[in-house]
């Protein structure tokens, strides 16, 4: 099937996990993938060709080195060979709201011509992994991808696919567009949705439920202090669609704990009634390494987007959006979304 020439915007924890994960499977690792192949493309077909960031500790480094630079907190899971992909200075279009975040040390390098860099690298796809609070930067990278003839994956909560006219422009250009806000492999949102769908399917009436997160990575910083309302709205909307009636529901981050590193603890609570009106409550806790949650779904979506690009399919792709994202154009139950994805990659 050939290679998938991938560019990344944002060399943070999720990027580190993705880069290391691809090398891990190249080295013969076997655990954790959802699909060895998607539409004939294997993991080893993904080749990094360009990378952009704004942090002085990453700009100018080879991507294989930059993924381990501060403030990244993802552990080394594999020895990385040099990738011969220099991290280039992207565009910083959003304010750094609080110096106390201590997350970004802005490089004094001049921003590169992102469109030109993507064209020179002959990138097939640009994956947006910038900070969840970088709303304007996310829009900028989407426009750059379209201008450069790339498919675009928005893994952030920024409303790119939902932005008026963006999907139409990508459709007119014959370029695939997917997003918004990546749905993790075993993250809090997908587990919450799955439990609610299971309980509803067993005839349980849900009276109240919440899911709250505590984490230590940069994602938790931004979610708590800069995009809390946006992120909570997306997560709550995604979860509420699991049950066909309204009930009191809260879903989102509650605190940042530095010493948790790139780990996250998620707490779930359910209250409801079953046969004869008998009451029940359920508490659950999920502990994960945050960045690695992105890898498996993102690899499936990357390969699905390349397949769509090969076919000349443009615009917002519902089978990929519903399968891999918290805020697709139309949300589907998990099983239906998975089935739609499988049909899409086989077509």
Question: What's the CATH code of the domain at 118?
Answer: 3.40.50.720
- Same-domain pairing of 75 and 57: yes
- Same-domain pairing of 273 and 308: no
Which H/E stretch holds residue 135? Answer: helix 135-148
- Same-domain pairing of 16 and 81: yes
- Same-domain pairing of 58 and 170: yes
Residues 44, 26 contacting (CB under 8 angstroms): yes
Considering its fold, how many domains does the chain have in total? 2
Strand order in the sheet with 4-9: 87-89, 46-53, 4-9, 125-128, 151-154, 176-178, 315-316
Q: pLDDT band for position 1 (50/70/90)?
A: confident
Residues 46, 153 contacting (CB under 8 angstroms): no
**Which domain does 18 fall in, by range?**
4-183+293-346
Q: pLDDT band for position 134 (50/70/90)?
A: confident
CATH code (residue 236): 3.30.360.10
pLDDT, mean of residues 311-331:
96
- Same-domain pairing of 285 and 297: no
pLDDT, mean of residues 78-98:
89
Strand ranges for the chain from DSSP E: 4-9, 37-38, 41-42, 46-53, 87-89, 125-128, 151-154, 176-178, 205-215, 249-256, 263-273, 279-289, 315-316
* Block residue for tokens 């280039």: 88
pLDDT, mean of residues 32-45:
95
Q: How does pLDDT run across 135-149, given as a tens digit for each residue?
A: 899 999 999 999 999
Domain boundary among 268, 290, 312: 290
Does the pLDDT value for residue 278 go beyond 90?
Answer: yes
Structure tokens at 109: 């390098």
pLDDT, mean of residues 190-199:
95
- Same-domain pairing of 244 and 100: no
Domain boundary among 275, 290, 305: 290
- Same-domain pairing of 261 and 339: no
- Same-domain pairing of 238 and 122: no
Per the DSSP assignment, residues forming a β-bridge with 316 are 177
Closest CA to 219 of 236, 231, 229: 231
CA neighbours closer than 13 Å in the CB half-sphere of residue 122 = 4
- Same-domain pairing of 178 and 197: no
When mean pLDDT is compared across 64-73, 95-104, 189-198, 219-228, the lowest value belongs to 219-228
- Same-domain pairing of 244 and 322: no
Domain boundary among 290, 316, 336: 290
pLDDT at 100: 38
CA neighbours closer than 13 Å in the CB half-sphere of residue 121 = 29
Residues 256, 146 contacting (CB under 8 angstroms): no
- Same-domain pairing of 62 and 116: yes
- Same-domain pairing of 229 and 153: no
What is the percent of the chain with per-residue pLDDT over 90, rounded to a whole number? 75
Q: pLDDT band for position 257 (50/70/90)?
A: confident
Q: How does pLDDT run across 20-32, given as a tens digit for each residue?
A: 999 999 999 888 9
Closest CA to 43 of 78, 10, 90: 78
Q: How does pLDDT run across 219-248, given as a tens digit for each residue?
A: 655 555 445 566 677 778 888 889 999 999
pTM: 0.91
């Amino acid at each position: 099937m050939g290679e998938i020439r991938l560019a990344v915007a944002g060399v943070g924890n999720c990027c580190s996990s993705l880069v290391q994960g691809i090398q891990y499977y190249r080295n013969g690792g076997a655990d954790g993938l959802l699909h060895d192949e998607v539409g004939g493309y294997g993991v080893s077909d993904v080749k990094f060709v360009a990378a952009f960031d704004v942090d002085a500790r990453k700009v100018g480094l080879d991507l294989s080195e930059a993924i381990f630079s501060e403030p990244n907190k993802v552990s080394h899971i594999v020895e990385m060979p040099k990738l011969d992909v220099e991290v280039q200075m992207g565009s910083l279009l959003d304010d750094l709201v609080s110096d106390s975040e201590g997350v970004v040390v802005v490089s004094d390098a001049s921003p590169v011509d992102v469109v030109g860099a993507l064209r020179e690298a002959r990138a097939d796809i640009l994956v947006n992994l910038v900070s969840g609070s970088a709303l304007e930067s996310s829009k900028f990278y989407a426009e750059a991808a379209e201008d450069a003839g790339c498919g675009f994956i928005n893994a952030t909560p920024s409303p790119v696919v939902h932005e008026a006219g963006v999907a139409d422009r990508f459709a007119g250009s014959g370029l695939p567009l997917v997003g918004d806000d990546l749905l993790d492999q075993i993250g809090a949102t997908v587990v919450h949705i799955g439990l609610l769908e299971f309980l509803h399917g067993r005839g349980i009436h849900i009276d109240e439920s919440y899911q709250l997160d505590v984490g230590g990575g940069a994602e938790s910083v931004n979610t708590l202090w800069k995009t809390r309302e946006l992120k909570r709205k997306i997560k709550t909307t995604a979860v509420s669609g699991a049950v066909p009636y309204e009930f009191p529901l809260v879903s989102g981050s509650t605190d940042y704990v530095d010493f948790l590193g790139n780990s996250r603890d998620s707490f779930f609570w359910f209250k409801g009634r079953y046969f004869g009106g008998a009451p029940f409550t359920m508490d659950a806790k999920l502990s994960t390494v945050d960045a690695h949650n992105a890898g498996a779904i993102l690899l499936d979506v990357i390969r699905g987007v390349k397949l769509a690009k090969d076919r000349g399919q443009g615009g917002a792709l519902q089978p990929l959006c519903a399968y891999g994202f918290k805020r697709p154009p139309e949300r589907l139950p998990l099983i239906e979304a998975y089935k739609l994805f499988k049909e899409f990659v086989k077509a």
